[in-house]
Chains A and B, each alone.
Chain A
């Protein structure tokens, strides 16, 4: 019943490849989750902490992908929304004693509203101009945080107590937080996929592809662009809240312009219009600067730059954005061959 199997005109064997592909994807997804759940017990505490940060950055990059990759609005200011999420969590925990898990929905809500408010003026700008407007957010954020010292602790920042695992689980804090973040990451990816495969997500992409045609189809472009902004900053804000919880400390200097640029780099390296690419992006943000330092003490940023250039040269659509289409093209090519070997594919020779 899937039309995928009959894309080439003469290939009408009625072989249903759709479900088997879906089964493979479920198996692959399940295997990744099982591996991710087993991993912390094979690694040192510090390595677990690093992986936790990878996942946090992945959630932040996922948010940026929704905006920049799927909706076509560029943002150089997502570090600012990451900071907003982090400080929401930190202030709620530090000043009001709210449990860490309850700060996540609060950060989500606040960053969604912030994103929508920011998305409204952003409607007037496109491309490089929008980049400049969002750049203002990234540049202003550290100083704003210092200015509202009474709330944010100013230059010193806020120290938080790292939450520990529930008593019945005999695992340490770092491993517990790894699992908390893993659950949020899986949920975030699932929710992002649902949105992007749904009516709203199609509207986001339609606006990016052809705004005039999108409006003619009844898509209120201003409303959906604003919604895309809010959705995007919601994800990035939740990531910020997780970062505050996991690191146990927030300070203005952690949320400078470079963080915003890192998200954009992570997004491009993984594949801006992908969901899975966010994980590659998160890994790049976490590991490459350190790796660059190991390779060259003197010029780590030259190594960083070279790694970035090399990746973008080899995979211009990002790792996932390049590899996945290649694999599915190959599978499509193999599909008819398999059918031919099964002895009923003599018609499978034209087109494609």
Chain B
């Protein structure tokens, strides 16, 4: 596997296998540089936090990973394979799942069906097999259903499977989104501000849930979050963006002491 871009800041001792590599990513909107030469790596089976003040480029980066934006320069590799030629809909099949800042659930569907949609990329059944319900289809549909129910239990929502997705509280809806992303059995899970709008207890539960996603499901997590306590408590590695550049990359303890990070968040001392 090619290992370009290894020289990113804070290369860990005894490097773990890298699942995702962001290499010299540059995105411009008109004259505004949203991302400038951003490089970092996400190690397998770890939680990587991505933080930075508003407008630092976190969401832009997520949208590049989802292939919603085309970067001007640079590359994104998953397991060494470039995503440059993939469409947004290919990404799920390659093993990247995501949640959205504001829950983007399918409003007319039940919680269970929302989660079943998550398994779409793993499925084979087409229009014809759906229409005549071949035995093959039944097996796939049964598997999807069993997986969806298991995933709902995992996030603690087994009781509301039959409810309309929109009837749930914000916290529960965010969990449905999480279950939907997990139903795809991704290698990498992108979480876009999962704690936004949650109360204190819900944030603590969310932290435990994300930890068990790493430890029990062995899914690598890239977490964008404003809730500093959550990111620092949860992450194995933290990447800090400011004005579209990586200003720090390392374990949370190191990031806490980093002068450039403090400056970015608190402003320059004069």
- Chain A residues packing against B (C-beta within 8 Å): 2-4, 6-7, 9, 191, 194-195, 198-203, 205-206, 208-210, 212-221, 227, 231, 273
B224 to A: closest C-beta gap in Å: 15
Cα of A199 to Cα of B143 in the assembled complex, Å: 12
Contact residues in B for A191 (Cβ distance below 8 Å) = 131-132
A-B pairs, 5 with minimum CB distance: A218-B121, A218-B92, A198-B130, A3-B161, A213-B104
Contact residues in A for B151 (Cβ distance below 8 Å) = none
Query: Out of A194, A195, A219, which one reaches B120, CB within 8 Å?
Result: A219
Contact residues in B for A201 (Cβ distance below 8 Å) = 130
CB atoms of A205 and B108 under 8 A apart: yes
CB atoms of B137 and A216 under 8 A apart: no
Cα of A9 to Cα of B107 in the assembled complex, Å: 22
8 additional A-B residue pairs with CB within 8 Å, beyond A3-B161, A210-B107, A218-B89: A198-B129, A198-B141, A199-B144, A206-B120, A210-B104, A217-B117, A218-B91, A221-B89
CB contact list, B230-263 vs A, under 8 A? none
CB atoms of A3 and B117 under 8 A apart: no
CB atoms of B162 and A218 under 8 A apart: no
Indicate whether A216 sits within 8 Å of B88 (C-beta atoms), given known contacts A195-B131, A198-B125, A200-B130.
yes
Interface centre among B100, B109, B120, B132 (most CB of A within 10 A): B120
A21 to B: closest C-beta gap in Å: 12
CB atoms of A206 and B125 under 8 A apart: no
8 contacts between A and B (CB under 8 A): A3-B158, A3-B161, A7-B162, A195-B130, A198-B141, A206-B109, A214-B106, A214-B117
CB atoms of A273 and B158 under 8 A apart: no
B61 to A: closest C-beta gap in Å: 15
B82 located at the interface, meaning its Cβ lies under 8 Å from any Cβ of chain A in the complex: no
B73 to A: closest C-beta gap in Å: 24
CB atoms of A218 and B108 under 8 A apart: no
- Chain B residues packing against A (C-beta within 8 Å): 66, 68, 87-93, 97-98, 100, 104-109, 112-113, 116-118, 120-121, 123, 125-127, 129-133, 137, 140-141, 144, 149, 158-163, 180, 184
Interface centre among B90, B108, B158 (most CB of A within 10 A): B108
B150 to A: closest C-beta gap in Å: 13
Indicate whether A220 sits within 8 Å of B87 (C-beta atoms), given known contacts A195-B127, A199-B123, A209-B106.
yes
Interface centre among A210, A216, A220 (most CB of B within 10 A): A216
Indicate whether A219 sits within 8 Å of B89 (C-beta atoms), given known contacts A7-B162, A7-B163.
yes
Q: Please, which residue of chain A has its CB at the minimum distance from the CB of B133?
A: A194
Cα of A212 to Cα of B66 in the assembled complex, Å: 10
CB atoms of B162 and A2 under 8 A apart: yes
Cα of A63 to Cα of B176 in the assembled complex, Å: 32
CB atoms of B131 and A194 under 8 A apart: yes
Contact residues in B for A217 (Cβ distance below 8 Å) = 92, 117-118, 120-121, 180, 184
Cα of A219 to Cα of B104 in the assembled complex, Å: 15
CB atoms of B123 and A7 under 8 A apart: no
A-B contact count (CB 8 A): 112
Indicate whether A202 sits within 8 Å of B131 (C-beta atoms), given known contacts A212-B104, A217-B180, A219-B89.
no
CB atoms of A198 and B120 under 8 A apart: no
Cα of A215 to Cα of B163 in the assembled complex, Å: 24
Contact residues in A for B160 (Cβ distance below 8 Å) = 3, 7
CB atoms of A213 and B105 under 8 A apart: yes
Contact residues in A for B130 (Cβ distance below 8 Å) = 194-195, 198-201
Cα of A203 to Cα of B133 in the assembled complex, Å: 16
Indicate whether A216 sits within 8 Å of B91 (C-beta atoms), given known contacts A7-B163, A198-B137, A202-B120.
yes
Contact residues in A for B144 (Cβ distance below 8 Å) = 199
Cα of A213 to Cα of B141 in the assembled complex, Å: 21
Query: Out of B132, B158, B161, which one reaches A194, CB within 8 Å?
Result: B132
A282 to B: closest C-beta gap in Å: 21
CB atoms of A218 and B100 under 8 A apart: no
Indicate whether A216 sits within 8 Å of B106 (C-beta atoms), given known contacts A194-B131, A195-B131.
no
Query: Out of B97, B108, B141, which one reaches A209, CB within 8 Å?
Result: B108
Q: Please, which residue of chain B has its CB at the minimum distance from the CB of A231?
A: B127
Contact residues in A for B88 (Cβ distance below 8 Å) = 215-216
A301 to B: closest C-beta gap in Å: 34
B90 to A: closest C-beta gap in Å: 8
Q: Please, which residue of chain A has its CB at the minimum distance from the CB of B160?
A: A7
Cα of A194 to Cα of B121 in the assembled complex, Å: 19
Q: Please, which residue of chain B has its CB at the minimum distance from the CB of A208?
A: B108
Contact residues in A for B137 (Cβ distance below 8 Å) = 198-199
Indicate whether A273 sits within 8 Å of B108 (C-beta atoms), given known contacts A7-B159, A198-B125.
yes
B108 to A: closest C-beta gap in Å: 6
CB atoms of A218 and B107 under 8 A apart: no
CB atoms of B112 and A213 under 8 A apart: no
Contact residues in A for B126 (Cβ distance below 8 Å) = 199-200
Interface centre among A4, A194, A212, A218 (most CB of B within 10 A): A218
B101 to A: closest C-beta gap in Å: 12
